[in-house]
Amino acid sequence: MASVAGTAFAVSVRPPRRLQQVSNHLSGLKSVSFTSQRKSFVSIRSAPRFRISCAAKPETLEKVCSIVKKQLALAENALVTGESTFVQLGADSLDTVEVVMGLEEEFGISVEEENAQTIQTVQDAADMIEILLEKKNAA
Amino acid sequence: MESGVRRWLVNVSLWNPSVDQFASVVSLLPEDEQRTITKYMKFDDRKRALVSRLLQYSIVHEVLGIPYDKIIIHRTLEGKPYLINGIGSPFSNFNFNVSHHGDYVGIASDPLCLVGLDIVSIMIPEQTTEHEFMSNFSSYLTALEWKNIAKTGTSEVKLCEFYRYWCLKEAFVKATGAGLGFGFHRLEFHHKNWTDISVYIDGIESREWKFSLYKIDERHWASIARGLANGADEQFDASLPVAEVGFIQRTVDQLIQSRSHGAQQNSC
């Protein structure tokens, strides 16, 4: 319950401190270094992880999900999303190759071996397919 | 004297816990490991993931003597597990590798060399022929390797040969931690009836890597890759121990019991 105190509501006018704080902050800044957020620890990276800036169309992702379910013998109603990793879905390295082959056949594209081996999530696969489809259609 | 070398196998088809039993074993592990295990869609994969982790913590505890609740295992970007808080000499390079396929989960450790383990279960998807199956992987083996496979015999034998090559390549990339994206076609394995196995990387024979193959049972094989890390101490280069130790079969119950035994010791 709001209670109104007897004292008048006073608006205090003070010089804006913000600007002063900012300039203090700036002068106190040391040189900024941008550290890479992805650090590789004990591993040897031999091929860059396939990274795409645009995501696959929803239809592509849906088709990929259904092919993946079939290839990995998952139930029709199994929850497979873009974030699902092939490992979580039960695929080993052999399965991943076969899934990629299945996707190649279905979409009429060709994925290079190094790229195929870097696919970790269903989204990765869909994004890669989208790019390859665009290239193919542009040709 | 502790050598730091272990080769363990667990036949997970022999372990059939109830839902509750499974959950209680999962709860023995650190929380982030528990979360990863429960993310697997199929129960068999969760089982293998759990046993794989039990093996990892057991091996570290047994070889290095670190109490179970102090062991910290992280994973590289590529997913290779490694120990954060190891001990110093003579086990400063202690590393291990796990693998699972079919009925088996295995672990291998080495005090000095990088070690990679891969287990394969020789099988093909239903309604596929051996030939159809292997053709999926045509770009992963070299022309010479395919030629050697073609020379062998029946399709079953060819399939077994294929799996041996695959197994060796996997063990290598797992040992180096290169993981996915290495490019299997860059590796070519030479051997004399599957002994004296050596690898050619990008056409050049590597003197630093030794391989061995084991038949676990009629349908399962394991391969071990051992090699020197880049920039390893020169004094070790010629003395890579050639003899390989065999695998010891463990059970899940043993792994669980050794944890409670370890905990009791620490609480005294």
pLDDT tens track for B31-77: 999 999 999 999 999 999 999 999 999 999 999 999 999 999 998 87
B264 pLDDT tier (thresholds 50, 70, 90): low
Instruction: Report which of B249, B122, B226 is spatially closest to residue A94, judged by C-alpha positions.
Output: B122
Interface predicted TM-score (ipTM)? 0.81
pLDDT confidence of residue A53: 55
A10-33 mean pLDDT: 36
Q: CA-nearest residue of chain A to B40?
A: A88
**Catalytic residue check, A127:** no
User: Given an 8 Å threshold on Cβ–Cβ distance, is B177 in contact with A42?
Assistant: yes
Kindly name the residue from A92, A95, A124, A127 that is annotated as catalytic.
Answer: A92
The nearest CA of chain A is from the CA of B83 a distance in Å of 11
Phi-psi label, residue B11: left if phi above 0, alpha if psi -120 to 50, beta otherwise: beta
- A87 near B CB under 8 A: yes
Judging contacts by C-beta atoms under 8 Å, the chain A residues touching residue B46 are none
Whole-Å CA distances, B241 to A134, B119, B236: 53, 22, 10
Of A47-51, A77-81, B8-12, give the lowest mean pLDDT range. Answer: A47-51
Chain B contacts to A (CB-CB under 8 A)? 39-42, 44-45, 74, 76-80, 82, 101, 125, 136-137, 139-140, 166, 170, 176-185, 230
The nearest CA of chain A is from the CA of B204 a distance in Å of 17
| Residue B70 DSSP label | G
User: Given an 8 Å threshold on Cβ–Cβ distance, is A113 in contact with B139?
Assistant: yes
Q: What is the dihedral of CA B194, B195, B201, B207, to 10 degrees?
A: 180
Helices (H), chain B: 19-26, 31-39, 43-64, 130-135, 143-150, 155-176, 252-267
Q: In chain A, what is the straight-line distance between the N-terminal and C-terminal CA atoms, in Å?
A: 70
User: Given an 8 Å threshold on Cβ–Cβ distance, is A98 in contact with B136?
Assistant: yes
Of A17-26, A38-47, A48-57, A69-78, give the lowest mean pLDDT range. Answer: A17-26
User: Given an 8 Å threshold on Cβ–Cβ distance, is A97 in contact with B137?
Assistant: yes
- A81 near B CB under 8 A: no
Judging contacts by C-beta atoms under 8 Å, the chain B residues touching residue A77 are none
Of A77 and A15, more confident? A77
* Residue from the list A42, A48, A89 with its beta carbon closest to the beta carbon of B76: A42
Residue B100, beta-bridge partner list: B105
User: What's this model's pTM, rounded to 2 decimal places?
Assistant: 0.81
Whole-Å CA distances, B72 to A99, B14, B57, B183: 34, 28, 9, 31
- A97 near B CB under 8 A: yes
The nearest CA of chain B is from the CA of A36 a distance in Å of 14
Q: What are B215-246's pLDDT values in tens digits?
A: 999 999 999 999 986 655 544 444 455 567 88
The nearest CA of chain B is from the CA of A112 a distance in Å of 9
Is the pLDDT reported for residue A69 higher than 90? yes
